[in-house]
Structure 1
């Protein structure tokens, strides 16, 4: 499932600092819950990893050595050592280590370029991290945490239903 166009369209005009602020907040919360996330990258920790959702007008660049995340308009395409492109929901499933990256690559659901060793190291790190985005990000919603977690989990299930993703 692609990210709904009516929700993606406004991202063309929303200022990058606003989007980046929200993404950085989520990234820092994720790193607090998984502080060893990038430990398994070894020599690849200094690499830049770009994620380019095909259904959003944005790209995301992760720099594990700092650790930091940057957001930019897709047309700017910041340099990166390794790049993964595909629908946002599949990229998030990869982040959680719940989908079979090889199957998605060979079915052409994902586009992968650049340093393959770095991407394999990142995939191994993500697979062992046991990330659960609804839980990890939803728990910061205070008294609404249970509602946010359930809603986000339902969105994930619906978004990935019928996709050619093999679940671990």
Structure 2
């Protein structure tokens, strides 16, 4: 897959430092979070239909690890694998971590990121589109994914947004405008 630009990529030292970290603890944490989230928002899995049972690889180009996402109700899981082992997924979405996180939280529009070549998609793209449509409709926040509410949720969402915004500015990632669409023509 060829991406148009390297903007927004984490420095190579981050990949070097994260490569030896054990993947299993992260896998357990992410799987628990996604199962709890699916339990709280079952309508999203229903909306996914057959896509919920299809493994989708989310591959940050600036990290040595990839995430195989399976959103199959109570059997939902996220496997953390080496980037080159993400081949068992039916579909693959690839790009810098900050851009991928922006797709998840709605800061970036998936179509705009794809056509600007900030992300690449291959395999059974209909499943990536179904996931994107579901995420856009869900209007997720970091706090909601973590199961937080009230004042704590507001603080987590605000601080996460500030941290991601700062990281995007520092790394030259496209800025999200007030409508959540990246500004690619800076």
- After TM superposition, the score normalised by the length of structure 2 is 0.75
Distance of 2:162 and 2:104 partners within structure 1? 17
Q: What's the counterpart of residue 131 of structure 1? A: 140
The DSSP-based 3-state class of the residue aligned with 2:78 is: strand
Please list every run of 5 or more consecutive structure 1 residues that lacks an aligned counterpart in the other structure: none
8 Å Cα contact 2:65-2:83 kept in structure 1: yes
8 Å Cα contact 1:57-1:73 kept in structure 2: yes
> Residue 165 and residue 108 in structure 1: after superposition, are their counterparts in 2 closer, same or farther (change >3 A)?
farther
Distance of 1:32 and 1:92 partners within structure 2? 22
Q: Report which stretch shifted further, 100-109 or 23-32.
A: 23-32
8 Å Cα contact 1:134-1:152 kept in structure 2: no
Distance of 1:68 and 1:34 partners within structure 2? 15
The DSSP-based 3-state class of the residue aligned with 1:71 is: strand
Q: What's the counterpart of residue 94 of structure 2? A: 85
Q: What's the counterpart of residue 155 of structure 1? A: 163
Q: What's the counterpart of residue 18 of structure 1? A: 25
Could you report, residue by residue, the CA deviation over 1:97-131 in whole angstroms, capped at 9, with x for unpaired residues? 33211111111100100112111111111111110
Q: Which runs of 4+ in 1 moved over 6 A?
A: none
The DSSP-based 3-state class of the residue aligned with 2:44 is: coil
Deviation at 1:149, TM superposition (A): 3.8
8 Å Cα contact 1:97-1:123 kept in structure 2: no
1:22-37 paired onto structure 2 within 5 Å: 22-37=29-44
Please list every run of 5 or more consecutive structure 2 residues that lacks an aligned counterpart in the other structure: 1-7, 182-186
Q: CA RMSD in A?
A: 2.7
- After TM superposition, the score normalised by the length of structure 1 is 0.82
